[in-house]
């Protein structure tokens, strides 16, 4: 059976959670906790994957290693190793099992669209007996009358009633054979449009939620103490000491992006809450605005707290773009800048090179980080891991930077990955060899000019 992608998307809208449960059982833990991080069904680990809170709408998901799957088809292709055609066929069979024994003899694409208010909807007697009919009035007060059982099904799925504004699309006209019977079918999709009152309420709710999230970020940041002012027995000082990182009192703007927070609240998977001291880092977008706050939950002894995810960003305001942002360790750059993934790695690189080293937080963040135009020499200190995610993300960034006319160098540790470990990063090198384990950056310029 050849399924029409537009029809299948319409049928799947609002049902993707059921579809994913049925066609990809490994996604069950994530679907049971939409919006929460769970072990990745592909890569394992503790918290590398999540589906969005509205996963029933479009089935989108995010893997910390592979990036975003923008809809349910991409999610199924990723988790099951399917092609798009396979995913479409399986979703089609799940949603429209009665279509599986039908044969499409001919199909004509129409793509006629209508938008307006529903004036009437229901069964009416027509030329060929009783059938479903709908009358739509467009913004110019022109009325359109449409018929058919497929239209009725589309209207019911979209929960459209008389008085609602809606958008209709006649996608195609088909001649179909089922057994010995041949018939014609018009394929419709329908979408209910929100009223002015509903839109006003939605926007007000979104604005209030965004304001609350931004206010929470600013309050947390304001409550923190710059790390250059903490005492040697402070949890952040002890944590940095364990990682071989030196906090200088006269660092100036270099570490202004990092602060100590005495009380961070952690919400556990079972809904309980605990409080911990921790490190907070301001993530800034290209305009220098606060895009988020990353929290590292610690113990009083300066170790990572025993929680599911010791590092977490705060809830993201919908009106603030996070993609492209970074934690600006070392401050603003001149002509040269370094880039690394985690805070500890970036801090290590800054210590060893003396250059600003911006932390992109994640591998996906590294691919998309936006750097100042003045930074024409970019040294990308990538994590060296078994999956090669760090290397791949660094190469994607380097390719983009070179296309912008900049010099970009991907730098990986020479040391082998320790047995049983997922990888080795530049903070590991600092602990193993000190700053002498880092490369001389002038050699890269020399190689570029030779």
Q: What is the pLDDT of residues 10-51, one digit of tens each?
A: 888 888 988 998 899 899 899 988 888 888 898 877 778 999
3-class DSSP state for residue 262?
strand
3-state secondary structure of 126: strand
Cα 70 to Cα 58: distance, rounded to the nearest angstrom: 8
Among 370, 214, 202, 179, which residue's Cα sits nearest to residue 285? 370
CA 391 to chain centre: 20
Percent of the chain's residues with pLDDT above 70 = 97
Grade residue 98 by pLDDT with cuts at 50, 70 and 90: low
| Helix axes of 16-23 and 72-80: crossing angle, nearest 10 degrees | 10
Instruction: Answer for the pair 83, 106: CB distance below 8 angstroms, yes or no.
Output: no
* Element holding 400 (H helix, E strand): helix 389-403
CB 215 within 8 A of CB 246: no
Q: Supply the pTM of this predicted model.
A: 0.75
Query: Has residue 71 got a pLDDT over 60?
Result: yes
Edge-first strand listing for the sheet containing 357-359: 327-329, 357-359, 336-340, 377-381, 407-411
Q: What pLDDT digit, counting tens, does each position of 185-229 carry?
A: 888 888 899 988 999 999 999 999 999 999 999 999 999 999 999
Question: What's the pLDDT score for residue 271?
Answer: 82
Q: How many CB atoms lie within 10 A of CB 226?
A: 15
pLDDT digits (tens, 9 = 90+) for 323-374: 899 999 999 999 999 999 999 999 999 999 999 999 999 888 999 999 999 9
**Gap between the Cα atoms of 122 and 147, Å rounded:** 10
Helix axis angle, 72-80 to 84-95, nearest 10°: 110
- DSSP state string for 343-375: HHHHHHHHHHH-S-EEE-SSHHHHHH----TT-
Instruction: Give me the phi and psi of 265, to 5 degrees please.
Output: -95, 125
Pairwise CA distance, residues 352 & 60, whole Å: 40
pLDDT, tens only, 379-421: 999 999 988 889 999 999 999 999 999 999 999 999 999 998 9
* The predicted structure's pLDDT at residue 187: 85
Give per-residue pLDDT as tens, 231-249: 999 999 999 999 999 998 7
d(CA 104, CA 174): 7
Half-sphere exposure of 291 (CA within 13 A, CB side): 19
Question: What digits encode the pLDDT tens for the residues 262-302?
Answer: 999 999 878 899 999 999 999 999 889 999 999 999 999 99
**What would the two tokens of residue 341 be?**
């993934």
For residue 3 the two structure tokens come to 């399924």
DSSP 170-215: EEEEEEEEETTEEEEEEEEEEEEEPPHHHHHHHHHHHHHHHHHHHH
Q: What mean pLDDT, rounded, does the chain reach?
A: 90
Which of residues 394 and 92 earns the better pLDDT score? Answer: 394
Measure the CA–CA gap between 427 and 441, rounded to whole angstroms.
17
Helix (H) or strand (E) holding 166: strand 165-178
Name every residue whose Cβ is closer than 8 Å to that of residue 41 and which is 6 or more positions away in sequence: 24, 26, 27, 29, 30, 49, 79
Predicted local confidence at residue 107, as pLDDT: 81
Does residue 450 surpass a pLDDT of 50? no
> Which pLDDT score is estimated for 363?
87
Tokens of residue 207, six digits: 């604005």
Q: Which two tokens stand for residue 284?
A: 């800034």
378-407 CB burial, b ≥16 within 10 A, e <16: bbbbbbbbeeebbbbbbbbbbeebeeeebb
446 — pLDDT class (breaks 50, 70, 90): low
- Check residue 72 and give its pLDDT: 95
């Amino acid at each position: 059976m050849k399924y029409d992608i537009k029809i299948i998307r319409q049928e799947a809208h609002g049902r993707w959670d059921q579809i994913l449960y049925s066609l990809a059982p490994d996604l069950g833990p994530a679907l049971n906790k939409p919006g929460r991080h769970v072990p990745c069904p592909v890569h394992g680990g503790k918290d590398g994957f999540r589906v969005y809170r509205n996963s029933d709408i479009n089935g989108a998901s995010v893997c910390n290693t592979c990036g975003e799957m923008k809809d349910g088809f991409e999610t199924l292709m990723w988790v099951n190793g399917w092609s798009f055609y396979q995913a479409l066929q399986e979703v089609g069979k799940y949603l429209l099992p009665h279509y599986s024994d039908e044969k499409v003899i001919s199909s004509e694409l129409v793509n006629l669209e209508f938008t307006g208010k529903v004036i009437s909807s229901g069964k009416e007697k027509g030329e060929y007996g009783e059938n479903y009919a709908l009358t739509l009035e467009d913004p110019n007060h022109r009325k359109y009358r449409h018929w058919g059982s497929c239209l009725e099904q589309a209207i019911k799925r979209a929960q459209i009633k008389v008085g609602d504004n809606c958008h209709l699309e006649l996608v195609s006209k088909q001649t179909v054979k089922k057994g010995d019977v041949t018939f014609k079918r018009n394929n419709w999709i329908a979408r209910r449009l929100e009223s002015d009152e509903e839109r006003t309420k939605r926007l007000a709710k979104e604005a209030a939620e965004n304001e609350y999230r931004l206010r929470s970020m600013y309050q947390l940041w304001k409550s923190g103490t710059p790390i250059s002012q903490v005492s040697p027995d402070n949890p952040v000082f002890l944590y940095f000491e364990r990682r071989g990182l030196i906090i200088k009192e006269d660092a100036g703007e270099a570490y202004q992006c990092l602060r100590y927070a005495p009380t961070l609240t952690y919400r556990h998977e079972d809904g309980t809450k605990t409080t911990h001291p921790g490190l907070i880092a301001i993530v800034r977008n290209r305009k220098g605005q606060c895009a988020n706050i990353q929290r590292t939950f610690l113990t009083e002894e300066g170790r990572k707290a025993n929680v599911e995810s010791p590092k977490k960003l705060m809830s993201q305001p919908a009106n603030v773009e996070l993609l492209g942002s970074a934690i600006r360790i070392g401050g603003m750059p001149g002509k040269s800048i370094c880039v690394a993934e985690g805070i500890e790695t970036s801090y290590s690189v800054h210590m060893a090179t003396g250059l600003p080293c911006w932390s992109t937080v994640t591998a996906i963040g590294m691919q998309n980080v936006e750097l100042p135009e003045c930074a024409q020499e970019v040294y990308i200190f990538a994590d060296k891991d078994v999956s090669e995610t760090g290397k791949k993300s660094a190469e994607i960034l380097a390719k983009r930077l070179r296309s912008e006319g900049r010099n970009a160098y991907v730098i990986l540790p020479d040391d082998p990955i320790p047995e049983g470990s997922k990888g080795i990063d530049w903070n590991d090198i600092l602990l193993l060899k000190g700053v002498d384990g880092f490369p001389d950056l002038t050699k890269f310029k020399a190689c570029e000019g030779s």
